[in-house]
Amino acid sequence: MSQNPKASPNLPWIPRLLMTFLAFLVDLTRRPNSTVNRRLFNLFDFKAPASKKPNNGVATSDIKVDPSRNLWFRLYTPETHGGGGGACMPVVLYFHGGGFCYLAANSFSFDRYCRRLTRELRAVIVSVNYRLAPEHRHPCQREDGVDVLKFIDETNIENLPAYANLKQCFIAGDSAGGNLAHQVTLGAIEKKFLKLKIVGLIAIQPLLGGEERTESEIRLQKSTLMPMHRTDWMWKAFLPQGSNRDHPATNIFGPNSVDISGLKFPATMVVVGGFDPLQDWQRRYYEGLKKSGKEAYLIEYPNCGHSFYVHTQIPESSLLIEEMKNFIGLQSAYQ
């Protein structure tokens, strides 16, 4: 475990500026009573429109699932050449980060990131616009994710290309979305799908926690994005009223956890950054998967802080995409 006394890595100025501004905006708009000033936050949460005409090799469209709860997803499809898109292009169901309380599938930073994933992974990406806390607490987000899977499985979606292979479906997410990727996978195991098969999970720096204060949380408590005072607020906003941080949606392999040893849980890739205060919890997640007899891979980037993956200026963001590509290729080959 790194004992580097610094709270944050050396970053190019653009990622540093963006992370600092996001942290400032979250603190400005989160209230002591665990509510969010959405009107103020949305002034700065710039949205990217969908584009059915390919833009830099990727076309996008927004698909409504349940308008009554504003449940929809943005579908990203890579441009194909010569009419041969490839009959086995995997499908990745993606959950964005934002502490369960912020951002959306069409937020500019996540739209750009999902476009990049689509292009470089050569995959069809389904980015879920799930309901946000505290207006909608756990398990609403898990329910939204499972319902999107059911919708894809049961509906003939006009813009879903024929080369999208639903038998090679991966569930992925970053930060809070990494947590949700696990929760949705857990919920999906209980369902019987007609066309869809989940073959892998990718948890990128998942937002996890517990009542215990870990060494990395204490050592990196001055980190830009995820210090303890901010993650404590997020858990209070996300979890059911009266819950503590040992809730199974927070502390996945803690004292109240769900035993997954007898479940057909898919192979999982866990991504950890050496400057992420959550790294101890993320390693425990990986270790819990292994102890439960599940196939799991730990990918570590010692010089990276939380959210490094969305910034193209950080070299490790490209290395991570290569690791994701290898993981998807490996799991797809088993099918």
Q: Which residues form the catalytic set? A: 175, 276, 306
Query: From CA 188, how far away is CA 92, in angstroms rounded?
Result: 14
Residues in Cβ contact with 142 at an 8 Å cutoff, skipping those fewer than 6 apart: 180, 183, 184, 186, 187, 249
Query: From CA 318, how far away is CA 316, in angstroms rounded?
Result: 5
Spatial CA neighbour of 111 closest among 74, 56, 164, 148: 74
* DSSP single-letter state for residue 179: H
Query: From CA 92, how far away is CA 27, in angstroms rounded?
Result: 32
Query: From CA 272, how far away is CA 211, in angstroms rounded?
Result: 20
Three-state SS string over 197-221 comes to: CEEEEEEECCCCCCCCCCHHHHHCC
Rounded to the nearest 10 degrees, the angle between the axes of helix 228-238 and helix 13-29 is 50
Partners of 94 in the β-ladder: 127, 172
Torsion of CA 23, 26, 28, 30, to 10 degrees: -140
Helices (H), 155-252: 176-189, 215-219, 228-238
Angle subtended at Cα 179 by Cα 43 and Cα 229, rounded to the nearest 5 degrees: 60
* DSSP sequence for 55-78: BTTEEEEEEEEEGGGTEEEEEEEE
Spatial CA neighbour of 255 closest among 242, 269, 243: 243
- Look at strands 71-78 and 89-95 and give their pairing: unpaired
